[in-house]
Structure 1
Amino acid sequence: MAYKTILAVLDTPKDARQITEFSLSIAERFGAHVIGLHAEAIASVPLVAPMEIPDPATVQALQDMAHDETVTIEQFFRDRCAREGISYEWRSFLSSAGLNAASLIDSARSCDLVIAAQGDDSLLSESRSELEHFLFESGRPVLLVPYIFKQPKPIKRVLIAWNGSREAARATFDALPFLKSAETVEVFSVEPPEQSGRSTTVAGAEIAATLARHGINVTVSQAATDEMPAPAAIENRLSDSSIDLLVMGAYTHKRWWEALFGGVTRTVLDSMTALTLLSR
């Protein structure tokens, strides 16, 4: 199993460079075809008070700026793919719905892996909500790249945030190409104090045994939430073990970054220190 079709979501010139580099690195590793995807926003119509008359000149100027950004992103993507000899194609859609456009979501549903930028705290909440909708409607595993990462590096150490849920299982098997090529994989569960921990422990051992049959070097560990909150436990594990990739299930709540791992808050994604693969 390998990722053979990768969709790179290229939003702005800044994150387009980052996501292109990471997408090409993974494509080279798995011999994959890369699709560069960009949504060019249709300029909204500003109105001139007091008569609220549309201002065509302003609308055209805004649209020209959006198109120039598209051209910049496309040129960079094409140049980098051609330079590396990677199989690729470019898709750009003019849309008032941004990433929520059906054409963009349809493109994602035919791919093995979607790669997108984490984004930073300065982004408007509407932008994060738009990305949320796109990621979950795609039905595909999504690899988020922390905005602090500038260059890709080998994925040698992987942490699976395991709670025995359907989403966690989906994420684990969606990540198999990464797991099989990693040097070490750790199945890490966080046990609520009100539980005995037996089901979580057994589930962690069972998924570890399954992964071991794939030839994966896997270990099992756990922490208790009465010692520290789940987000802190995961973050500590990421730091202590120098993890390159975090694998976790995502839930379909209104704000997905506040509902990960059965109640883990947005802290995990807002302070990302590793690539994070999400599935639901």
Structure 2
Amino acid sequence: MPMLILAVVPEPGTARACLEHAALAQTAVEDACLVVLHPDVDPEQLVATPEEIAIQQLREAREGSAVSRAAAVRAVFDKWAAASPRGREAEWRERPGAVAEAVNSAAAEAGLIVLARPHNLDGQDALHEAIFHADRLLLLVPNAPSPAALAHFALAWEPEDAARRALAAALPWLRQDARVTVLVAGGKGNRPDGSEAMERLHEAGIRAEVLPLEEGKPVGAALLGACGRISADALLMGSYDRPVVLEWLFGGVTRDVLRDAALPVLMHR
């Protein structure tokens, strides 16, 4: 059965970047198909609290109606599809109602969710659903052109379940003659040696090397700095391996990467 790649495009300003990266991910996997989903948040069709509906109604004054937002996203899709071979094969879907329900329902079929860094409320809701509830590999991309290829992956490794799930879910892309650099953090006495990751990659026939992260920096900043130095095309990592509230209160790797990454990030919780 072909892998389904789900590109979620809640807002017009980031739709092009999402579509380009989704097409790149599709190219790397044989027989993958691309579905483009626009969650159509119409206050009149929401089953929600009065407060939530009021927030959506207030948005219309600043961002336009749900109909006009959907039309703007569809215009971006149509322009991209007309110029892209992958676009001509992509399936467009619109689903009215709450963003979370739309994303979660469509994600049940998907092997990968692609989202651009959000700018509006719908994008933030879609990202939250993709990270915390969809249980799928997520490709979060910057609002910038995609790289020429996904050929060099930086793997942020820690021997935790989230990192193992991320690595397993990303194997279809890593197997496409990709190069992997395994990044490990910590001081010399307590640094994971990366041997488990190297063993898993070797069993899958993937070439890899281990690179210790620079000491003396927050791990998130060290990861992104290493990605820049080795010219990685994407960062692969497990996300939120401790309670989210603690990350937001005291800082954490996932929060820092989500905030600062300028390259595509593949993540799985």
TM-score normalized with structure 1 length: 0.77
- Residue 179 of structure 1 is matched in structure 2 by 174
How many Å separate the matches in 1 of 2:213 and 2:23? 36
SS at match of 2:217: coil
Find the partner of 2:198 among 208, 211, 220: 208
SS at match of 2:185: strand
Structure 1 outlier segments of 4+, above 6 Å: 61-64
Structure-2 change in CA distance of 1:255 and 1:92 (3 Å): farther
How many Å separate the matches in 1 of 2:246 and 2:24? 27
TM-score normalized with structure 2 length: 0.80
How many residue pairs get aligned? The number is: 251
Identity of aligned residues (%): 26
Q: Indicate if the aligned counterparts of 2:4 and 2:110 stay in contact, CA closer than 8 A.
A: yes
How many Å separate the matches in 2 of 1:127 and 1:77? 16
- From the CA coordinates, give the structure whose radius of gyration is larger: 1
1:274 and 2:237 aligned = no
SS at match of 2:220: helix
Structure 1 vs Structure 2 CA RMSD? 3.2
- Residue 107 of structure 1 is matched in structure 2 by 106
- Residue 145 of structure 1 is matched in structure 2 by 141
Q: CA deviation at 1:170?
A: 0.5
Structure-2 change in CA distance of 1:223 and 1:22 (3 Å): closer
SS at match of 1:181: coil
- Residue 54 of structure 1 is matched in structure 2 by none
- Residue 50 of structure 2 is matched in structure 1 by none
AA matched with 1:128: Q
Q: Indicate if the aligned counterparts of 1:168 and 1:249 stay in contact, CA closer than 8 A.
A: yes
Q: Indicate if the aligned counterparts of 1:157 and 1:182 stay in contact, CA closer than 8 A.
A: no
* Superposed CA offset, 1:164-219 (max 9, x none): 0000010011111221225421111112x5x8326x21xx1122122123221101
Gaps of 5+ in 2: 45-56
- Residue 249 of structure 1 is matched in structure 2 by 238
- Residue 72 of structure 2 is matched in structure 1 by 72
Following superposition of structure 1 onto structure 2, how do residues 197-236 of structure 1 map, counting pairs within 5 Å?
A: 197=190, 200-201=192-193, 204-223=194-213, 225=215, 227-236=216-225
* Superposed CA offset, 1:39-77 (max 9, x none): 122237xxxxxxxxxxxxx99x86973212212323442
- Residue 90 of structure 2 is matched in structure 1 by 88
